[in-house]
């Protein structure tokens, strides 16, 4: 518990953001951190794995560290506001009870499904009060003991989110992705160690590559190349955690050039593969 408070700023990253000029974000995952995204204003379609969620006021998104995701801003000429929390799941495990697992809503579902929760007006009000408490106790001029109250409000937030998750069931309201694009996602996931050039993919889905690229960009806000790259990085991280050698990982994750793999992995993860693997063994 002492480690938690000494490293609180790294264990829980809380950010309340307001902007009129959102910066487009690439596909991304978070280095062994889970994410809670509370949407307030703007025009955003949020891509997570194979789903696209149109967001409205008070929507809550939850993302596992291995879920590929990206906000797609539909317009720059308006106000965007959200509250985002990134946290280390190891922190939360300390507070689990035999009857209640605070990470259940992140771990006990299929990747890319049940990420969005549509809240009632009362639930929105309740969650806003919890965020306000966290924001108050996070301030530099906060009173002694505020770090304890900050963690307390965060744990209460996780209890609140899990109760909503358990009671609301699966929601189907998403933007329908064309069948060919859905087939493309599946093919990429199942063939990361194979050639995934546009020349190959256009034959897989029987679609002209130019149109395929435009369709992908329209629904995800990004490129096919970027999607494949981050899927391969996620696969590489998994293989390294499971004990594969760096050389084998390079091949199995679809990086045929060893030097390029080392360079790309370090840029995406922040550590070279061997150092990342050693770090994971210490956890």
Q: What is the pLDDT of residue 167?
A: 87
Q: What is the pLDDT of residue 209?
A: 92
Q: What is the pLDDT of residue 2?
A: 60
- Element holding 70 (H helix, E strand): strand 69-73
- List helix spans (H) across the chain: 2-6, 8-11, 89-93, 104-107, 121-138, 146-168, 179-190, 198-204, 209-220, 224-241, 246-252, 258-269, 273-282
**Unique residue bearing structure tokens 């080392």:** 262
Sorted by where each starts, the structural domains of the chain and their CATH numbers stand as: 2-168 (2.60.120.280), 179-282 (1.10.10.60)
Q: What is the pLDDT of residue 51?
A: 86
How far apart CA 58 and CA 164 sit, in angstroms, is 13
Q: What is the pLDDT of residue 126?
A: 96
List per-block mean pLDDT (blocks of 10 residues) for the chain, which spans 283 residues.
Answer: 64 87 59 89 89 92 90 81 92 91 94 91 96 87 85 95 86 71 92 95 93 89 88 91 94 94 91 90 70
């Amino acid at each position: 518990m002492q480690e938690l408070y000494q490293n609180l700023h790294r264990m829980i990253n809380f950010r309340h953001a307001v902007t009129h000029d959102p910066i487009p974000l690439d596909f991304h995952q978070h280095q062994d951190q889970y994410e809670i995204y509370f949407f307030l204003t703007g025009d955003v379609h949020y891509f997570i794995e194979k789903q696209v969620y149109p967001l409205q006021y008070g929507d809550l998104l939850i993302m596992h560290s291995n879920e590929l995701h990206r906000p797609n801003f539909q317009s720059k000429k308006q106000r965007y506001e959200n509250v985002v929390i990134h946290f280390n799941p190891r922190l939360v495990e300390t507070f689990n009870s035999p009857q209640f697992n605070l990470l259940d809503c992140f771990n006990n579902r299929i990747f890319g499904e049940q990420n969005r929760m549509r809240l009632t007006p009362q639930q929105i009000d309740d969650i806003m009060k919890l965020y306000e408490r966290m924001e108050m106790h996070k301030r530099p001029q906060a009173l002694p003991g505020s770090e304890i109250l900050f963690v307390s409000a965060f744990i209460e937030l996780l209890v609140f989110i899990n109760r909503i998750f358990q009671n609301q069931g699966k929601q189907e309201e998403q933007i329908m992705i064309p069948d060919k694009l859905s087939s493309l996602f599946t093919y990429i996931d199942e063939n990361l160690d194979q050639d995934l050039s546009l020349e190959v993919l256009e034959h897989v889905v029987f679609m002209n590559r130019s149109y395929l690229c435009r369709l992908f960009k329209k629904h995800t806000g990004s490129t096919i190349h970027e999607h494949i790259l981050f899927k391969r990085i996620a696969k590489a991280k998994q293989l390294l955690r499971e004990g594969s050698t760096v050389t084998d990982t390079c091949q199995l994750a679809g990086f045929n050039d060893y030097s390029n793999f080392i360079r790309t992995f370090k840029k995406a993860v922040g550590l070279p593969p061997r150092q990342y693997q050693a770090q994971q063994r210490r956890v």
